[in-house]
């Protein structure tokens, strides 16, 4: 005996209709749709347009019309790693730069969340941070000490398939204990349309000339899609490390310790991005 399938069932067997329906979903619903059935999961994996919508493969510059679109799921889970879009045209660094805080990331809220997030197969690791993707990545480190102001610049190899959140996250963790205890860490988006790459770094005092550091800073703003800024200051009486009785752990240092412990428990290594130093400079107190 032949049974005629309902029209709805027959329609949902047509791949083009399924793809059209899936395109109407927001990102979180689309991710969940992969668990509905094997057919939907296969359609999502095979569709380049849906993989772009899920930030798994890069969108072209033309399709982005020159504007950045943050990965909405990542921007919620790692909020301080995504600079606000209303920071353009600030007059100096202190006006525009927002600190990255590990302790604000969703994964730090509980041990169970840390273990869930940090699984090596977790999908967020493979996601692009934005569309069109970040391709050129650099590190600008500067420090003020008893002798003056120093800085150095590093760059990673070009991210031809775009910067993935797993690489960015591990790069942040790879900075280490001292940076997460006392340094200011910020993510700055530069390139043709900077978001929070101010033209000038504020002078630490009137007795130091900052033309050199600002020239190097402006060059990075123009040449890199993303610059990780690490800024610190030290004196002769600062505690030297966690073994010093005067050392006080910050909330970010505690979060960093917990992340590293979870990595160790899972048998993972914090890889970070391989960086190459290409410039250094200094300005001494007069």
Integer CA distances (angstroms), 179 to 17, 122, 175, 250, 286, in order: 51, 27, 6, 10, 28
Whole-structure pTM value: 0.85
Per-residue confidence (pLDDT) for residue 258, from 0 to 100: 97
Q: How far is CA 93 from CA 29, 184, 185, 201, in A?
A: 38, 11, 12, 5
Nearest by Cα to 17 from 7, 4, 27 = 7
Low-confidence ranges of the chain (pLDDT < 70): 1-18, 21, 61-66, 85-96, 198-199, 201-209, 236-237, 286
List the domain boundaries for the chain.
1-54, 61-284
Please, what is the average pLDDT of the chain? 83
- What pLDDT shows up at residue 212? 84
Cis before residue 282, ω within 30 degrees of 0? no
CA dist 262 and 40 (Å) reads 33
Percent with pLDDT over 90 in the chain: 47
pLDDT tens per residue, range 140-176: 998 887 777 889 999 999 999 999 999 999 999 999 9
Q: Do 144 and 204 form a contact (C-beta atoms < 8 A)?
A: yes
* Locus of tokens 């992969």: 34
């Amino acid at each position: 005996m032949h049974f005629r399938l309902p029209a709805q069932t027959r329609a949902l067997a047509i791949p083009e209709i399924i793809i059209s329906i899936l395109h109407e979903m927001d990102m979180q619903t689309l991710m969940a749709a992969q668990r509905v059935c094997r057919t939907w999961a296969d359609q999502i994996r095979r569709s380049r347009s849906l993989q772009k919508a899920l930030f798994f493969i890069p969108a072209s510059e033309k399709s982005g019309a020159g504007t950045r679109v943050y990965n909405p799921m990542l921007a919620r889970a790692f909020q301080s790693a995504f600079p606000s879009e209303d920071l353009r045209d600030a007059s100096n660094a202190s006006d525009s730069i927002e600190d990255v805080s590990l302790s604000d990331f969703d994964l730090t809220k509980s041990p169970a969340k840390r273990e869930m997030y940090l699984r090596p197969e977790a999908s967020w690791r493979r996601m692009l941070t934005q569309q069109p993707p970040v391709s050129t990545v650099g590190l600008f480190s500067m420090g003020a000490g008893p002798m003056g102001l120093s800085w150095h610049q590093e760059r990673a190899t070009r991210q031809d398939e775009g910067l993935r959140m797993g690489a960015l996250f591990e790069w942040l963790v790879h900075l280490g204990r001292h940076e997460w205890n006392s340094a200011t860490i910020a993510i700055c988006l530069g390139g043709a349309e900077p978001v929070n790459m101010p033209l000038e770094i504020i002078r630490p005092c009137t007795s130091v000339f900052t033309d050199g550091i600002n020239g190097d800073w402006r060059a990075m703003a123009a040449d890199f899609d993303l610059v990780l800024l690490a800024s610190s200051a030290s004196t002769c009486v600062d505690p030297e490390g966690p073994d010093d009785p005067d050392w006080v752990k910050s909330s970010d240092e505690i979060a960093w310790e917990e992340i590293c412990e979870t990595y160790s428990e899972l048998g993972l290594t914090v890889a970070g991005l391989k960086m190459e130093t290409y410039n250094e400079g200094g300005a001494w107190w007069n």
